Amino acid sequence: MLPTTVPGVIIHHVPAATRQYVGCPSIVILPNGRYVASHSYFGPGATNDETFVYESADLGASWKPIARIRGQIWSSLFMHRDALYIMGTDHCDRYGSWVPRVGATFGERLNGRMVIRRSDDGGRSWTTPDSAATGLLSDYDGYHTAPMPVVSHAGRLWRTMEFAPHAERLFWRTFMLSIGEDADLLDRASWVQSEMIEHPWSHSQWIEGNALVDRDGSVVNLLRTNFRGGLSEHAVAHVDRAALVHVSGDGLRLVHHPDYDIITMPGGGTKFTVRLDSVSDRYWALVNKQLDPPSRRNRLSLVSSPDLRRWTTERLLLSHPDPDHHAFQYVDWVFDGEDIIAVSRTAYDDGEGGAHNYHDANYLTFHRIDAFRTRTELYPARELS
């Protein structure tokens, strides 16, 4: 039996001994009020090309698996015109860094092709992206992403990705995809892809960007940044920074101003999801602050901003004193009335040796943040040990 001390509701658990690790959590609310969540696996024991889908009919209190999608990973769930979509790539990186699966050539695969699928039955069955007309959005490999938001603005849907055909992340290029809201989302010809931005001068990776509507009504991409400088991804970050990229109205051109588009943002060095709340008129995010105190991903905080540039830490939600084998990370979330509901790639004790490390998570967990807008009611963090 799994420990009762695991925070939140356990949607899925996988022992570290399988060498499969939980990644890419995503969540959406269906029109009928049911919750749908998804995740993938990564690691030496994983196929690196599957997504697993779950449903809750009781507001997140319990979950059941409803689908296994092959050829889909690094993906986000979203609703559009009463249909459920999942968008990501068809496989993830290998670069020769993972131990290959049986029958594979070492280092045979790059990052994958862009794909999107539709479900008309709440996530139980999905279309197959086997052509440019059915959701295969690129013919060649090299794309990277995560469960990032899809934003509706000016009659179009907007979603970020990165072009990442090799292992050195300093040279990965960010770009924006958009499509008319009335178009067939599975039709490649309907999508507009912006130019790509390179940024080797930044000495940092720019990945996992959020499509957002800025205060001036323009679309921007707010990206996670990591200063590389010879450090591995697993090193504690030295700064909390995010990068802002401006998108032209036609979705084709990108602009970044190095002098003022590097934003001080708590948790900017790890994956985060930002959404604009129409009630409070603020942007909100769940983040892993890297500073004050120095942390990896063992502390989860709620932050907000009036303008994407000035950020306030509202609450410390979850905390564990051990940064090496415990984490609440890659949190995806949506508004649910007065609350926020979220899913986390969680590394935690399980009675079977625990997580391989903080990065290689062994749980998908569900969480609810009650009355998140009540800024004067700062709930104490749940300190776990």
Lowest mean pLDDT among 228-232, 281-285, 357-361, 363-367: 228-232
**Is residue 334 situated within a structural domain?**
yes
Per the listing, tokens 């930044």 go with 202
Predicted pLDDT at 88: 98
Structural domain span for residue 87: 9-383
pLDDT at position 109 over 90? no
Q: Is the pLDDT of residue 96 over 50?
A: no
- Which of 53-57, 108-112, 255-259 has the highest mean predicted lDDT (pLDDT)? 53-57
Residue 1 maps to a domain: no
User: What confidence score (pLDDT) does residue 97 get?
Assistant: 43
Angle at the Cα of 288 (from 330 to 164), degrees rounded to 5?
50
What is the token pair recorded at 134? Answer: 């059915």
Instruction: Judge whether residue 282 has pLDDT over 50.
Output: yes
94 pLDDT band (50/70/90 cuts)? low
- Residue 292, pLDDT > 80, answer no
pLDDT digit string (tens) for 166-219? Answer: 778 888 999 999 999 999 999 999 999 999 999 888 888 899 999 999 999 999
Does residue 30 register a pLDDT over 50?
Answer: yes
| pLDDT classification of 238: cutoffs 50, 70, 90 | low
Question: How many folded domains does the chain comprise?
Answer: 1
16 within 8 A of 354, measured Cβ to Cβ: yes
What is the pLDDT, as a whole number, of residue 167? 78
Question: Looking at per-residue confidence, does 375 or 61 come out higher?
Answer: 61
First-to-final CA distance of the chain:
19
Q: In the predicted model, is pLDDT for residue 368 greater than 90?
A: yes
Evaluate whether residue 4 is within a structural domain: no
Q: Is the residue at 3 inside a domain?
A: no
Which residue in the block uniquely carries the two structure tokens 């603005």?
153
SS3 annotation, the chain = CCCCCCCCEEEEECCHHHCCEEEEEEEEECCCCCEEEEEEEECCCCCCCEEEEEEECCCCCCCEEEEEEECCEEEEEEEECCEEEEEEECCCCCCCCCCCCCCCCCCCCCCECEEEEEECCCCCCCCCCCCCCCCECCCCCCEECCCCCCEEECCEEEEEEEECCCCCHHHCEEEEEEEECCCCCCCHHHEEECCCECCHHHCEEEEEEEEEECCCCCEEEEEEEEECCCCCCCCCCCCCEEEEEEECCCCCCEECCCCCCEEECCCCCCCCEEEEECCCCEEEEEECCCCCCCCCCCEEEEEEECCCCCCEEEEEEEECCCCCCCEEEEEEEEEECCEEEEEEEEECCCCCCCCCCCCCECEEEEEEECCCCCCCCCCCCEECC
- pLDDT score of 296: 86
Classify residue 274: in a domain, yes or no: yes
Mean pLDDT across the stretch 13-23? 98
pLDDT above 90 as % of the chain: 80
Averaged over 283-308, what is the pLDDT?
Answer: 91
- Structural domain includes residue 329: yes
**pLDDT of 362:** 98
Whether pLDDT at 65 is above 60: yes
Write the CATH number for 323.
2.120.10.10
Residue with tokens 């007065």: 338
| Residues 129-163 pLDDT 10s | 999 999 999 998 999 999 999 999 999 999 999 99
Is residue 2 included in any domain, yes or no? no
Torsion region of 308: left, alpha or beta (phi above 0 gives left; psi -120 to 50 gives alpha): left
Average pLDDT, the chain: 90
What is the DSSP pairing of strand 327-336 with strand 339-347? Answer: antiparallel
Q: Please check the confidence at residue 278 and state whether its pLDDT lies above 50.
A: yes
Does residue 74 surpass a pLDDT of 90?
A: yes
pLDDT of the residue at 225: 92
Q: What residues have CB less than 8 Å from 374, skipping those under 6 apart?
A: none
| 250: pLDDT strictly greater than 50 | yes
